[in-house]
Amino acid sequence: MTSSNAIEVGAVLDNGDTVFHVTETDYWVVAPRALWKECKWHEGATYCQSIGYELPNKETVEILYDNRNEAHGLPTGYVWSSTEYNSDRAWNLYFSTGNWYYGIKSLSLWVVPFRRIAKTASDAVVDNTKAIDVGTILENGDTVFHVTDTEYWVVAPQSLWKVCAWEVGARYCQEIGYELPSRDVLQVLYDASEVLGHAFKKIHCNAMLTGTYVWSSTENASYYAWNLSFSSGNWYYNFKNFSYWVVPFRRMQKDIGAVDPIYTEVAPGIYSVADLKTAIGVLDRIHCDLDDHTVNTGHPVERTPVLVGGEAVTLDELPYPVLLMGVRDRAMKRLRLYAAPLPSNDSTVPTRMVVSAACKNGDYMLVGPRHFCPTMHVQADAYHKLGYVDDRKWEQGFIDQWETYMDRHEALMVALAAGQPVDFKRNGGSGKELYSEGVW
């Protein structure tokens, strides 16, 4: 790998990032031009986070402008910074003159994502012995879909996929440091799509609008190229000016080393998440898993509400690391997120655990080893005879060691976070809720 001494302003990294500032401890890079976009200020900030970058603040944009000749290809128009002037306006730099202005946040100006890379993290020798398997998620969001003796092939994060004409797609892949997959490569990717099913939900989520056809780089004739239907697995050749999915890929040499996954799926649809940046990426995957990829929540993604201990907490306030899970609330017709903190060696608070099945009816609860077992029936009959409850309105769930009630979804998260053994074969249900048969 490149040593830290060789990192200079103007250097272009393997993924297409361009270095525009170097310090003793890190270097700052601007994203490839294909990832820039013109949009409103709030949209830009959310977009940068979703692809693993930041919206640069005023000082950072100034440095980027000062080094514009080395970081070639920068826009000549107005560029947003993350620095706010007030609640309605934010600072932007006019790259034609170098002058600063504060504009209304609803204006569509250039968003140029950037990120800082620590020299010690980026340029250290990477442990080569870690296993790379199909389905491994790399630090930049790439997903491994094929492994050989000498290399592994990865597909780009979903945020980099796009629908466009064939020539536009081939050029786009090169601009961001990937390739448009050949017919043979795309077939391998399709064959692995069951393992990578979460990723290809994005294509199916938008099928009504765009179809499920994915371009390959293999031409059929001067005006045609091959594309694969991810619905049927059939190959077709169509005019190159048709708009189909472009899914960038690249080959990685094993001697470069592997990168640890940034999150792990501990059970289907349940993810162990280390930090906010990772959580934002996982949230995109959850939306796709639930066929709800395009979601207009009306607030920045980091303020997405999550249920923890029965209370709503925003994504940026979670006590990471956590388990994260999404469930479609069919009554409310929206996505509901659950989180459970993972135990910490430094914590003096006992780990929260599931200790009993429970049913709740207003302020009253039943407890027992099974829902509506004889023990619960005795309690329910007593409440009913005293006129305390409507016997038809018991909600099934569980309690922890502090007698705090949890619904079935939260109870599953708490049990998994505490390391309680959950037998998913006996558990039944949707796989995202706990039944007493699954734990005892």
Classify residue 136: in a domain, yes or no: no
Q: Would you state the pLDDT for residue 365?
A: 92
Is residue 405 very low, low, confident or very high in pLDDT (cuts 50, 70, 90)?
very high
- For residues 169-190, average pLDDT: 86
> Of 48-57, 61-70, 196-205, 284-293, which range is least confident?
196-205
Same domain (yes/no): 96, 180:
no
- For residues 349-371, average pLDDT: 91
Same domain (yes/no): 100, 74:
yes
- For residues 70-90, average pLDDT: 84
- How does pLDDT run across 134-150, given as a tens digit for each residue? 877 776 677 888 888 77
Same domain (yes/no): 329, 363:
no
Q: Would you state the pLDDT for residue 199?
A: 52
Classify residue 347: in a domain, yes or no: no
Same domain (yes/no): 292, 369:
no
> Of 49-63, 84-98, 132-146, which range is least confident?
132-146
- For residues 347-374, average pLDDT: 90
Same domain (yes/no): 320, 371:
no
Q: Would you state the pLDDT for residue 233?
A: 86
- pLDDT greater than 70 at residue 76: yes
Same domain (yes/no): 157, 238:
yes
Same domain (yes/no): 292, 379:
no
- For residues 354-382, average pLDDT: 92
- How does pLDDT run across 15-44, given as a tens digit for each residue? 678 888 888 777 888 888 778 888 999 999
Same domain (yes/no): 204, 161:
yes
The span from the CA of 189 to the CA of 182, in Å, is: 10
- pLDDT greater than 60 at residue 8: yes
Which of 206, 228, 255 marks a domain boundary?
255
Classify residue 129: in a domain, yes or no: no
Is residue 295 very low, low, confident or very high in pLDDT (cuts 50, 70, 90)?
very low
Classify residue 130: in a domain, yes or no: no
Q: Would you state the pLDDT for residue 412?
A: 93
- pLDDT greater than 50 at residue 293: no
- For residues 123-138, average pLDDT: 57
Classify residue 134: in a domain, yes or no: no
> Of 76-80, 339-343, 429-433, which range is least confident?
429-433
Is residue 196 very low, low, confident or very high in pLDDT (cuts 50, 70, 90)?
low
- For residues 416-435, average pLDDT: 85
Same domain (yes/no): 40, 72:
yes
Q: Would you state the pLDDT for residue 6?
A: 60
Q: Would you state the pLDDT for residue 349?
A: 75
Q: Would you state the pLDDT for residue 124?
A: 34
Q: Would you state the pLDDT for residue 288?
A: 62
- Structural domain of 419: 354-438
Task: Look over the chain and give the mean of its residue pLDDT values, rounded to a whole number.
Answer: 80
Give the CATH number for residue 39.
3.10.100.10
The span from the CA of 307 to the CA of 314, in Å, is: 9
Q: Would you state the pLDDT for residue 122?
A: 37
Which of 222, 239, 255 marks a domain boundary?
255
Domains identified in the chain, total number: 4
- How does pLDDT run across 243-286, given as a tens digit for each residue? 998 999 888 766 544 344 456 777 878 888 888 877 877 776 67
Classify residue 163: in a domain, yes or no: yes
Q: Would you state the pLDDT for residue 127?
A: 39
Higher pLDDT, 418 or 299: 418
Is residue 129 very low, low, confident or very high in pLDDT (cuts 50, 70, 90)?
very low
Residues β-bridged to residue 273: 263, 322
- For residues 43-58, average pLDDT: 87
- How does pLDDT run across 298-339, given as a tens digit for each residue? 556 778 889 898 888 988 899 888 999 888 776 666 778 899
Same domain (yes/no): 271, 246:
no
Is residue 195 very low, low, confident or very high in pLDDT (cuts 50, 70, 90)?
low
Same domain (yes/no): 304, 323:
yes
Classify residue 313: in a domain, yes or no: yes
Which of 255, 283, 300 marks a domain boundary?
255
Full-model pTM: 0.46
Is residue 204 very low, low, confident or very high in pLDDT (cuts 50, 70, 90)?
very low
Classify residue 170: in a domain, yes or no: yes
- pLDDT greater than 70 at residue 290: no
- pLDDT greater than 60 at residue 126: no
Same domain (yes/no): 88, 192:
no
The span from the CA of 216 to the CA of 260, in Å, is: 29
